[in-house]
Structure 1
Amino acid sequence: MTQIKRQAGRREWIALAVLSIPPLLVSMDITVLYFAIPQITNDLRPTTTQQLWMIDIYGFLLAGMLIALGDLADRLGRRTLLLLGLAVFGLASLGASFANSPETLIVARAVQGIGAAALMPAGLALLRNLFEDDGQRRTAITIWSIGVASGAGIGPVISGVLLHNFWWGSVFLVNVPIIAVALILTAVLVPNFKVAPGSMGRFDFFGALLSLVAVLAIIWGVKEGAINGFHAKPLTALIGGLVAAALFLYRQTHLTHPMIDPKLFRTKGFTPVLVLSLTGFFCVIGFGVFSTQWLMEVKGLGPLQAGLWMMASPLLAGGIVPVATGMVNKVRPAYLITGGFVLATIGYVIMSQVKADSPILLVVSGTVCIGIGTASIFALLTDMVIAVAPVDQTAAVSALSKTMQELGGALGIAIFGTVGASVYRHYFDAHLPSGLPADVVAGARQTMGAASGIAASLPDQVAKPLLEVARIGFSNSLATTAVVGIAVAAGSALLTVTRLRHVRYTTEEVAAKATAEPAEAEIAPVA
């Protein structure tokens, strides 16, 4: 007999609006710092290493703490951890806004990352509790996912407006009143959900430590290798991270109450969904920095202008993605996800044609295709993960999915950055204007931004040919790295259609099979 699932009412949809605030802020704070770095550098005088840690430490701890805090959300209560995460994130934002030294800002950004790691899995798990109906849950996850995607696009715009009118700390201070409102609304409107005491066993501190070490070591090793080459330190970190990850997975198979149930990996489609979460973020995060830099460095736009152009993608995605995800009752999710990756591939093909004198609309059209394609992908993939997760491990499993996304973003930045830097330097060296001092050449060949900064202090007759070479070199690097994006997006489309075509949302036999045959279960929207 078909079980009629509870329909969400007005209170649940209002709660969804509240739950969409944290992911918006979390993703916004990933990009908001990029444009503030010049002002921070002038004010706090950080070293090059400190500057990198200001940017990276947030994402490192966000990714590293996800699994442990996701497990805690299931144990302590999902709203409880969400409230704690909001409070920590808000206080850290306040501390960052008034930091008077590089060390203080780095610590504040680290604490922000921990708070953010508590917000993401707790919020996703609450959606599973609030929306029992499959269709309503997909709609809710789509709206939540659009919030995540919009934050990355809104971040540069807000950063540009604030930096134009206030000091650099305002990019963090703006979070505080929003967090204060979110705390009140969450406490009033969002119900708490908690796994029954004793049903999950004791918290696995050693497993949490292993997951933290694994994620931090792998992400740091990838980024360090991309910047300075894969010498002994990054290689040691990568090997150590992989060993820690293997130990974590081995430990999960020998615990009565594991953080992540190993049986999930025997569920058909679960592992491919995680892989596609990684490749999707690889595409969108890794390449996003190139698009913004091209607008600013090659076309000479300011941060606010560049941010407004980049808003086209999240704005259009907000209208198109719900329509695409709403088609799952008629079209198998695998085909919709494949369509998303195909659209992203088309976006990369467009970007592969970019030159220094290309119109801005060419780059914007490419980023729109990539943005809309990946946004629809994440909404469907996230729903698949939430659907198959055991009710008492929803937060922990959603944290695993988010960890894969963060790892994909780190790999994307590393690989796109490495390829792009190589192409840029090769062109720069081959077309270097004659007569430049050695120190100018050494600095300008590193990055387009460095070339722009150096050119600003040179006479026009020297600066113009230097900038021309740098702009053409950077445009060539963008077009070449787009070929990498084509390969990854097209490969992901092929993986989707071959490994996920069995998934359907229109029959209940799939859910019955998942219950009756766990070893050969398929992903299905089972609440």
Structure 2
Amino acid sequence: MTRTDGEVTEGARPAAGARTRAGSPAGPREWLGLAVLAAAALMTAIDTSVVLLALPSIARELHADAVQQLWIVDGYGFVFAGLLIAFGGLADHLGRRRMAMLGATVFGLASLAAAFALSPEMLIAARAVMGVGAAALAPSLYGLLTGLFPDSGQRAIAIGVFMTCLMGGMIIGPVVGGIALSLWWWGAVFLIAVPVMALVLVVFPLLVADVSTAHPHRTGGGVDAVSVPLSLLAVLPIVFGIKEAARSGDAFLAVASLIIGVVFLVVFLRRQRALSRGAGHAPLLDLAMFRHRGVCVVLLTMLLMTMLTGPLMMLDTQYFQAVAGADPLAAGLLTVPPALTGAAGFLTMPLLAKRIRPGLLIAAGLALSAAGLVLMAQITPGTGPWPLVVGFSVVSFGTSALPTLGTNVILGSVPVEQASSAASTQEASGQFGYALGIAVVGSLTTAVYRLLVAGAPGLDAADRHAVSAGIDAALGVADPVARAVAGVAFTSSLQVAALVAAIAMLALAGVTAVRLRHIPAFGAQNDVEN
């Protein structure tokens, strides 16, 4: 498939150094533009995980109950995941730079409001608005990145740098949160994003040009107005249903939400198919991209990989504090080695992919991550945190191949004017994968934990009931025997989750080695062909 680049839109003069010829190399201005894109991505990623560390302080200061704490954590991700498809399509049609600057403005102002929230309700609302800003930013940044780096080899390296910030931000979030909480109050964890977003707004017009968002074969109007609410009615109920199932909430509500979401998803997809065949409005999501070999495999593998490994990061931080007894800052520092190995992988994989087929690199990375998961399973209450630190470092390096190279495969499989829409599917895949992981892996670890607590000797009924609520609740039990039982049960549940994930990752490695073997090394041709 031949990629096409359009002309600059929005009535603005092209930024100096902007390139419209497919495959032309990027210069210093484009790499500076990448730094701005990566900084914005870093802030949205940090906010995904930093709130977990600040939650105890937030709950204490704002007197938030359990349900309010849940929405303080989940509200951001819920809105973010629900709006990705809609904003990805809108960015392609209305202008990615415009959408990114709107997202940065919303995110920065909402972060400011969150930092000075006076009640749980105010913080929940601010977090939801932050999710709106992040959803506008994320696919727009990918689309802008594609326009800056039309050459597939340079684009792979740029994606590696971008992913280093995006994925690394989620891992170092606890470190940032730990430092902020040790020096200031809980609101400081949200203030970090404000100056960065302000810088983005100043620098974007100078360094980052936008390319045409018009579909070259469409002669009708712009984006279909009906598709936007349809996408929301499809995605939001599905995300809510998964999250409701993950927290063992109302089963009827969870199932009903999933059914409603699936029904609207079918309606949405049928409308996109009809729009792609007509001469009127352009579809919000061009389904033709899913006919390209490799795209569906990458999206499904990314969903499953995130589902298997994403919850383990949360379990690790729980072990560091609840079992190993680390304080928030020490627990955050223990996440630094995985962040560093992940960054090394994000930067190394694109260079290797110039000589080695990306499918083989992705498969090898998944197999290596399985070995890291086996190492994580060696954890016991007496080993300390090091099996988790070393094992997850191996996992972070191994799994870096899929998002880095897989994103390049997806973006290289569609015309440049559809890049943000395509990127939104990749982002949504990761978000759905993480939500499913909390539901599936979380249910598995909870079941193992409660089974072991129920069968443990030497506990009275009151302590057994308190400990069975979870490892965090067990910390409030006075009996040291009960706390020890909880530590053993939690560690065992983590071992089971790691081993199950290792087996599944080996299976994924085999599938990707076969299904992605046709994709050539990025240096073998100017772009990925399908």
Q: How high is the TM-score relative to the length of structure 1?
A: 0.92
Partner of 2:6: none
Please identify, of 351-360 and 28-37, the stretch whose mean Cα deviation from structure 2 is larger: 351-360
Give SS of 2:355's match: coil
CA contact (8 A) 2:76 2:128 kept: yes
> Which consecutive unaligned segments of at least 5 residues does structure 2 have?
3-20
| Partner residue, 2:465 | 442
299, 309, 312: which is aligned to 1:287? 312
Shift of residue 420 of structure 1?
Answer: 0.6
Post-superposition offset of 1:443: 2.8
Could you give the per-residue CA deviations for residues 29-80 of structure 1, whole angstroms, max 9, x where no partner exists?
A: 0111111111111121122211111110100111111111111111221111
Q: SS at the partner of 2:379?
A: coil
Spell out, residue by residue over 1:137-193, the C-alpha distance to the aligned partner (whole angstroms, 9 max, x if none). Answer: 110011001111110122101111111121111111121112212221223222233
Match of 2:234 among 209, 214, 224: 214
Partner of 2:482: 466
Q: Which residue is equivalent to 1:244?
A: 264
User: Who is 1:488 aligned against?
Assistant: 504
Q: CA deviation at 1:491?
A: 2.2
CA distance in 1, matches of 2:405, 2:524: 17
What does residue 141 of structure 2 align with?
123
Judged with a 3 Å threshold, the aligned counterparts in structure 2 of structure 1 residues 98 and 230 are, in CA distance, closer, same or farther, namely closer
Contact kept, 8 Å, 1:280 with 1:378, in 2: the verdict is: no
Aligned mates of 1:330, 1:174 — CA distance in 2: 40
Shift of 1:498: 1.9
Picking from 126, 148, 152, the partner of 1:134 is 152
Distance of aligned partners of 1:284 and 1:110 in 2 relative to their CA distance in 1, 3 Å threshold: same
1:55 aligns with 2:73: yes
Aligned counterpart, 2:380: 355
Q: How many angstroms apart in 2 are the aligned matches of 1:190 and 1:162?
A: 31
Superposition pairs of residues 319-358 of structure 1, within 5 angstroms: 319-358=344-383
Tell me if 1:451 matches 2:467: no
Shift of 1:366: 1.0
1: CA distance, partners of 2:498 / 2:22: 47
State the alpha-carbon separation in 2 of the partners of residues 158 and 507 from structure 1.
41
Deviation at 1:229, TM superposition (A): 5.9
* RMSD of equivalent CA atoms: 2.0
Question: Is the contact between residue 223 and residue 414 of structure 1 (CA under 8 Å) also seen in structure 2?
Answer: yes
Q: Distance in 1 between matches of 2:219 and 2:497?
A: 49
Cα-to-partner distance string for 1:278-320 (whole Å, 9 max, x where unaligned): 1222233221101111111110001111111111011122234
> By how many angstroms is 1:118 displaced?
0.8
Secondary structure in 1 aligned to 2:412?
A: helix
How far is the alpha carbon of 1:20 from its aligned partner? 0.1
**Separation in 1 of the partners of 2:370 and 2:219?**
45
Question: How many Å apart are 1:202 and its aligned residue?
Answer: 2.8
Cross-structure match for 1:36: 54
Partner Cα separation in structure 2 for residue 109 and residue 431 of structure 1: 40
Q: Which residue of 1 aligns with 2:513?
A: 497
Structure 1 alignment gaps of length 5 or more:
515-521, 523-527
Task: Give yes or no for contact 1:284–1:374 (8 Å, CA) kept in 2.
Answer: no
**Helix, strand or coil: the match of 1:56?**
helix
**Corresponding residue for 1:477?**
493
Matched residues, percent identical?
36
What is the CA distance between 1:507 and its match in structure 2? 4.3
Structure 1: how far apart are the matches of 2:230 and 2:464? 44
Structure 2: how far apart are the matches of 1:465 and 1:299? 16
Give secondary structure in 1 for the equivalent of 2:226: helix
Cα 1:154–1:4 shift into 2, 3 Å: closer
The residue that corresponds to 2:15 in the other structure is none
Letter in 1 for 2:445: G
| 1:374 counterpart residue number | 399
Structure 2 counterpart of 1:435, one-letter code: D
Distance 1:412 1:418 in 2: 9
Give 1:306's match in structure 2, choosing from 317, 331, 353. Answer: 331
CA distance in 2, matches of 1:114, 1:510: 33
Show the counterpart of 1:518: none
Cα pair 1:284 1:371 within 8 Å, conserved: no
Q: Deviations over 1:76-117 (max 9, x none)?
A: 211111111000000000000111111111110000000000
In the alignment, the residues of structure 2 paired with residue 399 and residue 317 of structure 1 have an alpha-carbon distance, to the nearest angstrom, of: 22
Conserved in 2, the CA contact under 8 Å of 1:432 and 1:466?
no
- Aligned partner of residue 168 in structure 1, secondary structure: coil
Taking a change above 3 Å as real, the CA distance of residues 227 and 200 of structure 1, as seen in their structure-2 partners, is: farther
Single out whichever of 321-330 and 149-158 deviates more from structure 2.
321-330
SS at match of 2:518: coil
Aligned to 2:437: 412
1:70, 1:395 within 8 Å by CA — same for their partners in 2?
yes
1:466-487 deviations in Å (ceiling 9; x for gaps): 1100100000010011122113
CA distance in 2, matches of 1:172, 1:125: 26
**Counterpart Cα distance in 2 of 1:50 and 1:306:** 24
